[in-house]
Amino acid sequence: MSKWVIGVIGGSGLYEIEGLENAETISVETPWGAPSDPLVKGQIGDVTLVFLPRHGKGHRLTPTAVPYRANIDALKRLGCTDVLSVSACGSLKEALAPGDFVMVDQFIDRTFAREKTFFGPGMVAHVSMADPVCSRLSGLAGDAAEQAGAKVHRGGTYIAMEGPQFSSRAESHLYRQWGCDVIGMTNMPEAKLAREAELPYATIAMVTDYDCWRDDSEAVSVSNVLEVMKNNTDKARQTLKALVGGLQGTERTASPQGIETCLDFAMITAPDARDPAVLAKLDAVAGRVL
C-alpha cells in the first residue's frame, strides 16, 4: 500500500509539529544550497510527516531570502509525496476576516528577486501552472480545518508580493481591482517549484489582517498581526492533527490531476543537447524522467 508522506512548510508562527513519533532531525544538503532549517521527520500512526519552518527557527529569513529551491528539493529528497503550505496572509475581501482560513486555488506572482525554476540553460522545461494547487490535497486540508473549528473559504486567488514591506494603500486597492482574495509574500515561487518537482501542493492561507485597503481601519502592522497569528497557529496545529487522523489506514493514490507525471510533457531540450552538470543538479526533483 502506498503511504502518505506529507511535507509541511510552516509559515509565520508555525515552527514545529507536536506529537511526532520516532522524530528525527535531518540536515539535508541540496545542489541548491541548504534549506531554511534542518527538517524534522516522524510519524503519526501510518502517516509520515516532514516538517520545515519556511523562515527558519527564530524567523531568521526574509521572504526574499528563503531558499525555495533547496526547500522543495529537500522535501522531495526525503520522499515526500505531497506538500502542504501553512501561510499567514492579508485579506483583500471584506468577507475574509482575520482568523479565517482560505484554501487558495490560484496565484498571481508579483515577486521579482527570486530564483523561480530548477531548470535553465542546458535543460529547459515548461510545466503547466494553469491549476497550481492539488484539488485533492486542498480539499482534505480544508475538511480538516473545518474539523479544527476554523471558518474555511474554499478557493481564492493569492497574490504574492516581494516584501518584506507591506503594501501601500494604492497597491492594496489595485490588487482588489484585479480580483485577488489574499496577499502574502512566500507562496511563490514555492508552488511553481513544487510543480516542477512533481509534488502535489496545497496552501492553507491563514488571514491575519485586512492589509491596508480599508480606509476606516488601522493599517497592517506586526504588532496587530501577532495576536491573530497565535490563534491561527493553534488552529493550524489542530488542522494538521485532523488531517493526519483522517488519512490513517488510507492508501495514497496518484493525484487526479496527474501532477506526479507532469514532467513527461514538459521537457524541451533534446537529449543530446542536455548539459550533464545541470542534469546532475536535478537528480531529486526530476530524476524520474532524466
Q: Mark out the alpha helices in 116-247 (DSSP H runs).
A: 135-147, 169-177, 187-196, 222-247
The three cell numbers of residue 246 are 483522517
| List of E strands, the chain | 5-10, 21-26, 39-44, 47-53, 82-91, 101-103, 106-109, 152-154, 157-160, 182-184, 201-209
- Asked whether the CA dihedral 13, 18, 20, 26 is positive or negative, the reply is positive
For residue 123, give the 3-state DSSP assignment. strand
- Residue in 34, 33, 39 with CA at minimum distance from that of residue 15: 39
Strand pairing partners for 137?
none
Catalytic, 100? Answer no
Catalytic, 73? Answer no
Catalytic residue among 73, 82, 109, 209: 209
Rounded-to-integer distance, Cα 277 and Cα 227, Å: 48
Q: What is the amino acid identity at position 181?
A: D
Catalytic residue among 37, 82, 105, 211: 211
Return the active site residues: 209, 211
